[in-house]
Amino acid sequence: MDKVQYRSRKIAIVSHTLSGGGAERFSAVLGRMLDGLGYEIHHIVVNDAVDYAFAGTLFNLGKASAGQNIVSRKIGKGRLLKRYLDDAQIDTVIDNRSRNIWLREWLTKRIYGDRKKIYVVHSFKIDDYFPPFRWLARWLYADADAIVGVSQRIADEIQSKYGLTNTQVIYNPVEVTPTDAQNQNPNPDKYLLFLGRFDDKVKNFGLMLEAFALSGVHQQGYRLLLMGSGPDEGLLKHQIQRLQLQDSIQIVPFQSNPYTFLQNARFTLLTSRHEGFPMSLIESLALGVPVVSVDCPSGPSEIVQHEVNGLLVPNFDVAALSDAIKRLATDANLYDICKTNAMASVAHLSVESIGQQWQTMLEK
């Protein structure tokens, strides 16, 4: 993207971390994308976890407030945030955090002050982003410059539940290309790949593992690689042992650059109870790798074109998912069709296209 020389807007992107999940990876991609448009970018992370490459300046609230007790740390973070926004002369805040404690968010809104405020909603579980009462959500967010839902279904749900007419849709951008993956193949055998946070309440690993076992593809030499980290790694290992799949399923530690693993996978898997607009799916397709996904709210139905770039099946249906896994692993004609169409199916999510949408919103 060409930088716009006249632009002087200073943007703070506020995130829980720059590590681990898709929402956090989005923050890093968003910063690089807006930096490429000529904006001055400041990343503010609430907790001390930074693994993704980022553009601009980093202010680590977690590190800056370390060593204090929990009450002092929370108060201190608020003061530090206000001081940083003032000292850096930030004029726009893009808030990528979950925001379900209304009193904290009222205080945060006061800290943001009269700056341009854009709130991003990354999950269909919108209770993680808004208070439980419609009037309270409207009181907090009706005057925001924009509320961005990362899928059409999220935006529709926000407008329906809270009546917030300042809501709009901007899909997550996909930044990767095949050149981002290294040439060597770290896993020369056939494998399917899950990429994400080990959080069973969201990812529903029981469904994934049961379907993988039922498909029988492991008896044909296919393995399942689970790449990530999170609180339910122990539960995941227990489920693998219970199904006696230790020889067919491998847990791979979280990596900030997973693209070589992605590019060399047969296809990727997603079995979540709910999502937003899954980065793992669009990055997989951008690398020419088909996907098998459940039709959870929201995102997959706006990404996966059934039997065109992958397979989309009803959620919580072990038989349907296992059949989809088997089909894409063994049906060479279907696989070739999906692989051929994968990259083109996410061309509309390019950094150039999505960057233009963000630029238009920022300059209103």
Length of the chain: 364
pLDDT band (50, 70, 90) for residue 259: confident
Question: If you average pLDDT over residues 74-90, what whole number do you get?
Answer: 93
How many other C-beta atoms lie within 10 A of the C-beta of residue 199? 17
Tell me the CATH number for domain 178-345.
3.40.50.2000
Return the pLDDT at 93.
98
Reported as a single tens digit per residue, the pLDDT across 168-194 is: 999 999 988 766 655 544 443 599 999
Residue 144, CB-side half-sphere exposure with 13 Å CA sphere: 26
Same fold, 10-173+351-362 and 178-345: yes
Both structure tokens of 162: 């809270």
Reported as a single tens digit per residue, the pLDDT across 132-157 is: 999 999 999 999 999 999 999 999 99
In angstroms, rounded to a whole number, what is the distance separating the alpha carbons of residues 291 and 307? 10
In angstroms, rounded to a whole number, what is the distance separating the alpha carbons of residues 267 and 185? 15
Rounded to 5 degrees, what are φ and ψ at 63?
-70, -40
Return the pLDDT at 178.
64
> Which residues, including other chains, have CB under 8 Å from residue 293's CB and lie 6 or more apart?
269, 270, 271, 278, 281, 300, 303, 304, 310, 311, 312, 313
Reported as a single tens digit per residue, the pLDDT across 275-307 is: 999 999 999 999 999 999 999 999 999 999 999
Task: State pTM to two decimals.
Answer: 0.91
Angle at which helices 22-36 and 279-286 cross, to 10° = 60
Q: CA 214 → CA 100, 241, 250, 341, distances in Å? A: 38, 15, 17, 28
pLDDT band (50, 70, 90) for residue 76: confident
Tell me the CATH number for domain 10-173+351-362.
3.40.50.2000
Q: Identify the bridge partners of residue 14 per DSSP, sorted by sequence position.
A: 44, 95
The per-residue pLDDT of the chain, averaged, comes to: 92
Q: Residue for token digits 């990767």? A: 176
Is the pLDDT assigned to residue 30 strictly greater than 70? yes
Q: In what order do the strands lie in the sheet with 10-15?
A: 57-60, 40-45, 10-15, 92-95, 116-121, 146-149, 167-169
Question: If you average pLDDT over residues 61-79, what whole number do you get?
Answer: 80
Reported as a single tens digit per residue, the pLDDT across 222-234 is: 999 999 999 999 9
> Which residues, including other chains, have CB under 8 Å from residue 30's CB and lie 6 or more apart?
13, 94, 96, 173, 358
Return the pLDDT at 71.
64
Per domain, the residue ranges of the chain are 10-173+351-362, 178-345
Instruction: Number of helices (H) and strands (E) in the chain: give both, helices first.
Output: 15, 13
